[in-house]
Structure formats: structure tokens, C-alpha cells
Structure 1
């Protein structure tokens, strides 16, 4: 069975093409709230033809509600079944938070996917448009987390809200102390997010009074490389693997 998994985020839609259990292709396309099904079909047609892939089913998880209907139209045109993960449906793990219906689908999928691979307690950090921390407790229950602006948002905010600061690509500068404006910004973004992440992990461990297994994912998960000493596992495709895994167990959760 060939499955297309679509992680519909605020900045990008990450697509995973699975043949049986294997991720054979991964693509990233822009996520725009007003893009139509016809536009997505045009992009998908090129990707499918170029890579010789024809999905037999699709599963999506979205944090951009206006796009759900467009992807339903995509599936209808492709004449393939579509499975949509929504908050609280399917019921993947207990959500021990004040407002379970507000927990993002991506955060639930990441937590579920991490639980399939590692023993809790787990802390999943997703470096995406937003940087999110999600805690899975010892009993496999979702316990809450942290949300803060992502690296790219930080870079864009400096550029848009100041008169003279340029927009920069995010990568490690040659030193912590920058000797030009671009390296100063890169240092703040790169080392600032590294140390902020490490500091929040330590605060979480202190509050829990126990250690946790830290899994890092998201579009910028590989940016820090060996400097991310706090990460036990770096898994850029965790969300896609979670979507695919849920698809494989769909009847178990929805039956």
C-alpha cells in the first residue's frame, strides 16, 4: 500500500510518500491559507510524475483549518480515500490538560509517535514555525508543554520591526561574539535558541524531579547538529512517521 502523509503546518506542508513501511520520498511545499485544491493538485502532479509515485490513500494532520477542505477536494480528485486526524479524533492518548480540544494535532501526533519508539517520560521539542515542547508522562499520558515563537519568526520579527537590521538565513556563526551585523543576529538566533531550549529542559526536569528522554524534530531540528547536546534523539520525520503509523492502526483507534 502506498500512502501519502501530509503534515499541514503554518509555513510549510511536509509530504511523506510511503511504500509499505518505508518513507521513499519527502517533499516540502509552501502552506498558504488561500491556496486552492487545484493549485495543490498541480504541484502534486509534478511531484508524483517526477518520482513515479501514485498514492492509494492519504492521511493528513493540519493546524491550518482553512486548508482541510482543500485537501479533501485533492483526495476526491485523485480518487483516493482520505483520513483526517483532528483534535480528540482519533483518541490516541490521554490528554491531561485543562482544554484537551485546544492541543494541536501536530503535538498529539508527535507525542504518539515518540511513544511508539521510546519509553516515557518523554519531552518532544518541535522546531517549526512555533517552537513547542510536549511532555508525555510515565503512564503515556500527554501532560502539557510550552509554546514560543520559532527561529524563523524571530528572524522575521527583527527584520520587519526594525529599520536597519537585515533578514538572515539561520545557521551557526563563526563565534558567539559577532563582528558584523549578520553574525550578531545569527549568534542571537542560534546560540540564543540553543541556550533557551537547554534552560527550559532543565526547568522541566526540576519541576518533574526526574530525567526525561528528549526527542527533537521539526524543520529546524537538524540545524543545531552536535551543539544540541540536550537531545537524546533527533528525528526530523517524527510527525510524518506518526501520521503513517496512525494510518496503519486506524481501525484499532476508530473501530
Structure 2
């Protein structure tokens, strides 16, 4: 079993992979107040709850977009497994050619997503990862990273509306009923979800005018709400980041 960790702005997700199949996924809040010892204890307890002895893992691989969490979680994985985890960074051989992209501030989650999508579907691909932010990452048929976009995530957009507009309340997203809202809450929900779907459709149309037909892959927690509203063909891979981490780990084994 391979332990794969995706550190995001909202959650730290740990998967136990047998091949490319997650045996389990553990999600914890991205708490920067925990030190390495606290992460070690928490992860040990959660792994024990899954019946997993981390000392028997084949290894561990990690990607992070929260620098403050990278070191303590990496130290926790090393302590639990007795192995040095592979931390995916700018110098890690991933198989993805970054071309002329300025990679200094490139989130490794976007690289990992593209590696997984290319391995699964070939190129060209466009990956929409709908988490705290909605990121677009695209690669061509030769595995060259083309770039992408970063949009406010659904929750962030709604939080901004509620914070800045006195008569707009905080809401919880659920699947929309019909096309139009009939009260303030449903109007906000429909606007957020159909707005996100319309943005993806419009971006894909423009991408295909420039790069030709491509495979569109959706991932991230909010993709489950938006994908049914899309009028374009997409692949849905809820475990895309874990698949990419496993692919990169395999490529870096001696």
C-alpha cells in the first residue's frame, strides 16, 4: 500500500492506495497550529482506525499548497512509516514538461492533476479542480504544460457575497431544482452553480478553438454539484490527485 497525501487550503487528505484504487481516504482540517508530533498522533490514530500499520506501507508521497503544513506532515509520515516521503516539488521528475511556464509559484496540485490526466487519457487535456479555488490546468498531446486559470471557488464566491451584501445570507450548496431560483437562497445557489457550469463551458469552447478537441476532466469536492449541469462531455475523477501522486511516486523509484 502507498500512502498519498494531498495538502490543500481546506483539508489534508490521506489515501491508502493499492495500485490505483484507494482503499480509504482520510480527510482532516488544514490546521497550521499542529506540530509534527500532533500530526503523527492524529494520523496514527486514523490509520489504526482503518486497520493500517503504516510501517508496512510501500512508501509515502505528498504534495502541498500550504508551505506551513508541508514540513510537519512530512515529518509525521516519516515517523510513522520509517521511510522518507517523496515530496513533490519543482525539481521532482514528474514526466510533465513545464515548457515556458513560470513554475516558481506553480501549485504542485496542478502538476499532479495533469500527470494523472495524461496517464489516464492522453493529451490534450484540460483539468478543472473544484476545491477552495477552481483551477484549470491544461497539457498538450506531447505532455507539455500549457498553463491554465485560477478562479474563486464556489464556497469563496458565496462567502464574499454574504460578507459584502447585507441582505444575502450564508448558504449551503445543494443540487439545484430547476433552472431559476424562487427566493434569495435558491437564487444564490442557482447563480453559483450555473455560473460555474457556464464558466467551464465557455472556457472549454475557447480552449478548443485554440488547441483543438481535448478531454475535459473534473475533480475536486464541488465537481459533484457542477458536473450534472454541464452541457459538454467530461470525465469525472474524484481521486485524480491521488492517482497523479501514485504515478509520480512510481516514476521516482530506483
TM-score after normalising by structure 2: 0.91
Structure 1 residue 160 displacement after superposition: 2.1
- 2:53 equivalent in structure 1: 54
- 1:64 equivalent in structure 2: 66
**2-side partners of 1:141 and 1:77: how far apart?**
36
For structure 2, which runs of at least 5 residues remain unmatched after alignment?
Answer: none
Structure 1 residue 100 displacement after superposition: 2.3
1:89-142 CA-to-partner distances (Å, cap 9, x unmatched) read 224311123412322100101111111111211111111111111111121111
Identify which range, 216-225 or 64-73, moves more after superposition: 216-225
Structure 1 residue 226 displacement after superposition: 2.8
1:183-219 CA-to-partner distances (Å, cap 9, x unmatched) read 01101111111111111111111222x1111111112
**2-side partners of 1:207 and 1:122: how far apart?**
13
Q: How many residues align?
A: 250
- 2:30 equivalent in structure 1: 31
**Mapped pair 1:230 → 2:232:** yes
Q: 1:10 to 1:107 in 2, by over 3 A?
A: same
For structure 1, which runs of at least 5 residues remain unmatched after alignment?
Answer: none
Identify which range, 216-225 or 146-155, moves more after superposition: 216-225
1:17-59 CA-to-partner distances (Å, cap 9, x unmatched) read 1235431001211113333223323332332122101232221
Match of 1:24, SS?
strand
- 2:204 equivalent in structure 1: 201
- 1:4 equivalent in structure 2: 3
**2-side partners of 1:19 and 1:202: how far apart?**
37
**1-side partners of 2:18 and 2:92: how far apart?**
25
Please give the root-mean-square deviation of Cα atoms over the aligned residues, in Å: 1.7
Match of 1:224, SS?
helix
- 2:119 equivalent in structure 1: 116
